[in-house]
Amino acid sequence: MTTRDMKKFNKQWVMSFGTLLQKMHLIDNNKEQKERESDAADFHTIIPCATKSPIEAQFLHVHTHVKFREVQVQFRGKVNCITRSIEFALGFTTYEVLNSKFNKFVVTYDAISCEVKCQCLLFESRGFLYRHCLSALSFKRVDKVAP
């Protein structure tokens, strides 16, 4: 490869890289614009609660519309859960939650700190309470959770 070929190759590479950066910048701008439009639309709309749960009403005011729709799926799925208390000691209550797929989940509720934890650990990965925890909270008649 000659010096001339190298210069030509480098020039083409720099030009294509510049074009790629321009395209990425344009995509980022379009994404930001769509997010702003979505936020503006969300500001003027209210999503009705799927259930009469006070926790769902609390989440309506805390989460974005997109995240709240994901939470609503969990509230609807809670209907298919069967919950029973299996142990109580020192403010901790352990529940066994069965869902429609016949999977068992162990949920622990700490009445002192008002924390709920499920063995599925989906809260840790997704950032909102799943139907197993919501079912246990409903069984315990908890009407408010920490945000």
Compute the distance between CA of residue 18 and CA of residue 70 in angstroms, rounded to an integer: 39
> What are the tens digits of pLDDT across the range 91-147?
899 999 998 767 888 999 998 888 888 888 766 666 778 888 899 999 999 988 876
Residues 96, 120: contact at Cβ < 8 Å?
A: no
Compute the distance between CA of residue 136 and CA of residue 75 in angstroms, rounded to an integer: 12
Compute the distance between CA of residue 146 and CA of residue 132 in angstroms, rounded to an integer: 17
Residue 127: name the closest of 60, 69, 49, 71 by CA. 71
Compute the distance between CA of residue 3 and CA of residue 101 in angstroms, rounded to an integer: 67
Residues 83, 95: contact at Cβ < 8 Å?
A: yes
Looking at residues 53-71, what average pLDDT do you find? Answer: 86
pLDDT mean across residues, the chain: 81
First CA to last CA across the chain, in angstroms? 63
Q: Identify the weakest region by mean pLDDT among 58-72, 75-89, 120-134.
A: 120-134
Q: What is the pLDDT of residue 65?
A: 83
Tracing tokens 């395209």 back to the chain, one arrives at: 23
Q: What is the pLDDT of residue 96?
A: 92
